Structure 1
Amino acid sequence: MSKSTKAGSDSGAKGDKVWAIMALVSGIGAAKVTNKVLSSGWKASTGRKPPANPADPDVRLVEAVLWSAATGATVALARMFAQRRAANYYVKSVGRLPKQLEKDER
């Protein structure tokens, strides 16, 4: 392998590591913000704090199901949107998608 080919693959690997960090940070940030917003909305609409642990048998089943569904779906969507924005930034910076996001062959 020539030095230029190795250097190109090293920078690609480095870029993919940068992407992994960007995806992780954006996903965690989106999850934290979304959870805070959902908790505030739950408290405003029910007058109570959201269930800390929906699996707790002392939490009413309807509350556990509603809280789990709301947080699961909303956090997943927020993470996806945050990671898509991070991917757009990555493409503008590097000029290509990270290997983890390369388009599928259809």
Structure 2
Amino acid sequence: MADKGDIGWRVLAGGAAFVGGFAAKKAITMVWKKSTGKEPPTNPESPDVALTEAIAWAVVMGVGMEVARLMATRAAARQWAKGTGQLPAQLRAEA
């Protein structure tokens, strides 16, 4: 069974990843609109969307969301370490 620190970290990391992902999606959509002059594809799987546009959207969104999740989780880990004096167990480097 997980201890309270583990549960607390999971909640904090999950919340940070959610907020980071939400903000990233908004930012990526805004940049897409400015750079292409049109809305991003709502359904890239549709044959009505050009393949190059669908692939570009998938790559930009995938990389952007993962980078945002990574940055948010790292920021949460720094705050966790400030509050508890150590990194969460899952993030500690094994020496």
With normalisation by structure 2, the TM-score equals: 0.91
2:64 and 2:90 map into 1 onto residues whose CA distance is 23
| Structure 2: gaps of 5 or more residues | none
2:61 and 2:36 map into 1 onto residues whose CA distance is 16
Q: Would you say 1:83 and 2:83 are equivalent positions?
A: no
Which piece of structure 1 moves more, 80-89 or 47-56? Answer: 47-56
Q: Would you say 1:38 and 2:28 are equivalent positions?
A: yes
Residue type of the alignment partner of 2:67: L
2:94 and 2:42 map into 1 onto residues whose CA distance is 39
Aligned match for 2:17, one of 23, 27, 39: 27
Aligned match for 1:54, one of 38, 44, 51: 44
| Structure 1: gaps of 5 or more residues | 1-9
How many positions carry a matched residue from both structures? 95
Which piece of structure 1 moves more, 63-72 or 91-100? Answer: 91-100
Corresponding residue number in structure 1 for 2:60: 70
Q: Name the CA shift for 1:104/1:56 in 2 (closer, same or farther; >3 Å).
A: farther
1:19 and 1:40 map into 2 onto residues whose CA distance is 31
Q: Would you say 1:102 and 2:92 are equivalent positions?
A: yes
- Whichever of the two has the greater Rg, that structure is 1
With normalisation by structure 1, the TM-score equals: 0.82
Alignment RMSD: 1.6
Residue type of the alignment partner of 2:4: K
Corresponding residue number in structure 2 for 1:6: none
Deviation at 1:88, TM superposition (A): 0.6
**1:10-37: per-residue Cα shift (whole Å, max 9, x none)?**
9x81111111011111101111111111
